[in-house]
Chains A and B, each alone.
Chain A
Amino acid sequence: MKISMNKINFNESLKKLEKKYKIYAPKLFPFAGRCSDTDLVRYAEVSTIEEMVFDKKSNFSPKEILLPQTETMFYFTEKEYKEPDVEEKGTLVFLKSCDLHSVKRFDEIYLKNKFSDIYYSQRRDKIKFVVVGCKTGFDSCFCVSMGTNIPEDYHMGINIREDEVELEILDEGLKANFQGQDKEFEIDKVVINKIELKVPDEINLEDVINLDLWREYDKRCVACGKCNFVCPTCTCTTTQDIFYSENENTGERRRVWASCHVDGFTDMAGGHEFRKKHGDRMRFKTMHKIGDFKKRFGYHMCTGCGRCDDACPEYISFSNCIKKLTAALGGEDE
């Protein structure tokens, strides 16, 4: 079903949907950015289309909704442990094509990869995705090169225009909530980015492990992990147990986001540590994003959102790194 409706009516529909769904979209938090006087755009609950921000890139990705930064796995009391209650409401997430593609990557790890994760799957079952058309990327985007510019597997697609919203509704459950005029249109997509690159189809670890280019990052990268935390496809976590200071007999097991750039990620007992040099961590991340994930699952992990570049305090550009790697492997880039 393809229709168009004005924003007032669209907001009315959202209000109806709020009874059944929590609605998430990128939202502006003024002056909350990482430098003074800068704003922050991150996923949060919204009720109107005016609150949604799609003309700026969200600093964080919707992965916060799929996998919270900190998540309680069980509560422990003296004699038993208990899983947290599951949220009753569904979730409606407004996101762009690149970020929708990142969900497929999360599914690969958290639902497939041999075992299925109950916390993720319970949440995932209740989520519906609304893809928001995107015509032009931002400076650091390279979605076209990564093939994530065309949306797939969404429940609803919309184009936000000056004073109307175009809706392509594929999900039966959502259809009843929106009434408008029939209209023919296509969901907007980016066809060209400022950054274009060629990623080799297959990259072997043996061929890249000793390349000089990683050494550039030994000093430049400060191992802050920001690139991992903002990445919509970084799925790693660490389990942590805590007890409550008021009552040491009770506590909880949590998992929190982890970063392969940050110290401690590979620390073994006896002080053994893999990938001590920051450049080797850069290599590990790069290979995961454009090499080994593909070897395992058949497509690249990186969606080309460019958030890692935007977040890096050292102005390290991941797309540049890919170009350097391709060139070092005898490809044509750089």
Chain B
Amino acid sequence: MNNIYMPSPYKILDIQQVTNIEWLFKVEFDRADEINYGQFIQISIPKVGEAPISVTEFNVEEGWIEFLIRKVGKVTDVLFDLKAGDTLFLRGPYGNGFPFDEKYKDKHLVIVAGGSGCGPVRSMINAVHKKFKSVKKMELILGFKDTNCIIFKDEITSWQEENNLVLTVDKMCEGDTCDLGINEGLVTQHVDKLDLSNIDDLEVVIVGPPMMMKFAAIEFEKHGVPEDKIWLSFERKMSCAVGKCGHCKIDETYVCLEGPVFNYTKGKKLLD
């Protein structure tokens, strides 16, 4: 019988510092063809521990996967001491991911992401942008704390060329510079900048801290977007990622099995 907890070793290809606290890890991965946008992987460092990390980008032909990781604790601390050429242990992909083919294809896709919430949606945005996947139109609101926290700047520049992209920071600080065209305020304050004229065609993806997702979803509802057209990605403490340990459970739902992506009709009821 297959051991669902058994991780496999993979070589780190590249590590890049993205902000003061976030690094991008590129790792060899032979199961990239199994990945769905928005899924996660259990990253493990033997003798230290495991942590769930979203797949931020992957390439099936070249056989690699990328993670955007914040240094916050046991596993992530050790990760930041590793170098290209070192080994990482992975198991997954896990979770459901975004239902692109079933729901978003050929629709008007709006993506609202806050801070490291850009991680889980990046592969989907790139897939649309690079025309691997077709939507009628894609619009983005990306929000960050301040200009130092902005990640994936090069990609944002290229996404901006073809899509309506609103880039915001919570508050501008003196001396803040950014050549990307920056707005001030929370992501919820910029929903008016989107084209919400044909709601029937719309699908809205919101990923970020719990408060941001809650208020952003409410804002879209106020603009007449029905709840079944809103999608959220949840984060919960996880230990096993396979429905055994119970840490991620909300009501009868296991975030590791049925999530992390939830339609808002369901997400709204996942109270904690």
Q: Which residues of A contact B (CB under 8 A)?
A: 73-74, 76, 81, 83, 109-110, 113-118, 121-122, 205-206, 209, 235-243, 248, 250-253, 255, 258, 260, 265-270, 272, 274-275, 287-288, 291-293, 295-296
Contact string, B244-264, partner A, CB cutoff 8 A, digits 1/0? 111101011010010000000
Report yes or no: A268 in contact with B239, Cβ–Cβ below 8 A.
no
Complex contact B46–A237 (CB within 8 A): no
Q: Nearest chain B CB to A27's CB is how many angstroms away?
A: 29
Residues of B contacting A206 in the complex (Cβ-Cβ under 8 angstroms): 269, 271
Chain B residues, CB < 8 A from A236? 245-247
Residues of A contacting B49 with CB < 8 Å? 239-241
Complex-state Cα separation, A220 to B82, whole angstroms: 46
Determine whether B5 belongs to the interface, using a CB cutoff of 8 Å to chain A: yes
Question: Is B272 an interface residue when CB atoms closer than 8 A count as contact?
Answer: yes
* Further pairs besides A115-B244, A237-B240, A255-B240: 12, Cβ < 8 Å: A114-B242, A206-B271, A209-B271, A236-B247, A237-B246, A238-B239, A239-B239, A239-B245, A241-B46, A269-B72, A269-B73, A269-B76
CB of B178 closer than 8 Å to a CB of A: no
Q: Which residues of A contact B47 (CB under 8 A)?
A: 76, 241-243, 248, 250-252
Partner of B243, one of A115, A269, A295: A115
Contacts of B6 in A (CB 8 A): 74, 81, 83
Chain A's nearest CB lies how many Å from the CB of B181? 29
**Nearest CB of B to A67, in Å:** 10
B260 CB to nearest A CB, Å? 13
Nearest residue (CB) in A for B89 is A81
| CB-based contact B272/A117 at 8 Å | no
Report 8 cross-chain contacts, Cβ distance below 8 Å, ordered by A residue. Answer: A115-B4, A117-B244, A122-B1, A240-B49, A241-B46, A242-B47, A251-B47, A274-B237
B243 to chain A: closest residue by CB: A113
Q: Which residues of A contact B210 (CB under 8 A)?
A: 272
What chain B residues lie within 8 Å of A268 (beta carbons)?
235-237
Contact residue among B1, B46, B269 (Cβ-Cβ distance under 8 Å from A205): B269
Whole-angstrom distance between the Cβ of A47 and the nearest chain B Cβ: 32
Q: Mark B42-82, 1 if CB is under 8 A from A, else 0.
A: 00011111100000000000000000001011001000000
Of the candidates A109, A275, A295, the one whose C-beta lies within 8 Å of that of B272 is A275
Q: Is B3 an interface residue (CB 8 A)?
A: yes
Please, how many angstroms separate the alpha-carbon atoms of A296 and B251 in the complex?
9
Shortest Cβ distance from residue B269 to the other chain A in the assembled complex, whole angstroms: 7
Q: Which residues of B contact A (CB under 8 A)?
A: 1-6, 45-50, 70, 72-73, 76, 210, 235-237, 239-240, 242-247, 249, 251-252, 254, 257, 269, 271-272
Cβ contact within 8 Å between B251 and A205: yes
CB-CB nearest in chain B for A240: B49
Contacts of B257 in A (CB 8 A): 113-114
A248 partner residues in chain B, CB cutoff 8 A: 47
Question: In whole Å, how far is B259's beta carbon from the nearest beta carbon of chain A?
Answer: 13
The distance in angstroms between the C-alpha atoms of A239 and B246, with both chains bound, is 12
Q: Which residue of B has the minimal Cβ distance to A295? A: B252
Which residues of B sit under 8 angstroms from A293, Cβ to Cβ?
252
Partner of A270, one of B72, B249, B251, B269: B72
Which single residue of chain A is at the shortest CB-CB distance from B75?
Answer: A241
Known contacts being A81-B46, A206-B271, A268-B236, is A238 close to B245, with CB within 8 Å? yes
Give complex CA distance A270, B72 in Å.
Answer: 7
Query: Which of A74, A117, A258 touches B247 (beta carbons < 8 Å)?
Result: A258
* A109 shortest CB reach to chain B, Å: 6
Q: When the two chains form their complex, are residues B251 and A110 in contact, meaning their CB atoms are under 8 A apart?
A: no
User: Nearest CB to that of B50 among chain A residues?
Assistant: A239
Contact between chains at B272 and A237 (CB < 8 Å):
no
Shortest CB-to-CB span from A196 to chain B, Å, is 27
State in angstroms the CA–CA spacing of A130 and B242 once bound together.
Answer: 31
Indicate if the CB atoms of B251 and A118 lie closer than 8 Å.
Answer: no
| Centre residue among A114, A116, A252 by max chain B CB count within 10 A | A114
Contact A238 B247 (CB under 8 A): yes
Given contacts A121-B1, A205-B271, A239-B49, contact A269 B242 (CB under 8 A): no
- Within the assembled complex, what's the spacing in Å between the Cα atoms of A251 and B70? 26
Q: Which of B1, B5, B235, B244 has the most CB of A within 10 A?
A: B244
CB-based nearest B residue for A238? B239
Which residue on chain A has the smallest CB distance to residue B71? A269
Known: A206-B269, A239-B239. A258 touches B246 (CB 8 A): yes
Contact between A241 and B242, CB atoms less than 8 A apart: no
- Is the CB–CB distance between A76 and B46 below 8 Å? yes
Q: Which B residues are in CB contact (< 8 Å) with A122?
A: 1
Query: How many Å from the CB of B49 to the closest CB on chain A?
Result: 5
What is the minimal beta-carbon distance from B244 to any residue of chain A, in angstroms? 6
Report the Cα distance A292→B244, complex, angstroms.
15
Which residues of chain A are within 8 angstroms of B242 by Cβ–Cβ distance? 114-115, 117
A82 to B6, CA, bound (A): 10
Task: List chain B residues, Cβ under 8 A from A239.
Answer: 49-50, 239-240, 245
Cβ distance B69 to chain A, nearest Cβ, rounded Å: 10
Q: A74-B6, A118-B4, A241-B47 are in contact. Are A113 and B271 (CB under 8 A)?
A: no
Contact of A260 with B246 at beta-carbon distance under 8 Å, contacts A116-B1, A118-B2 already known: yes
Which residues does chain A contribute within 8 Å of B2, judged by CB atoms?
A: 118
Contact yes or no, A251 B46, CB < 8 A: yes
Q: How far is the CB of A161 from chain B (nearest CB, A)?
A: 41
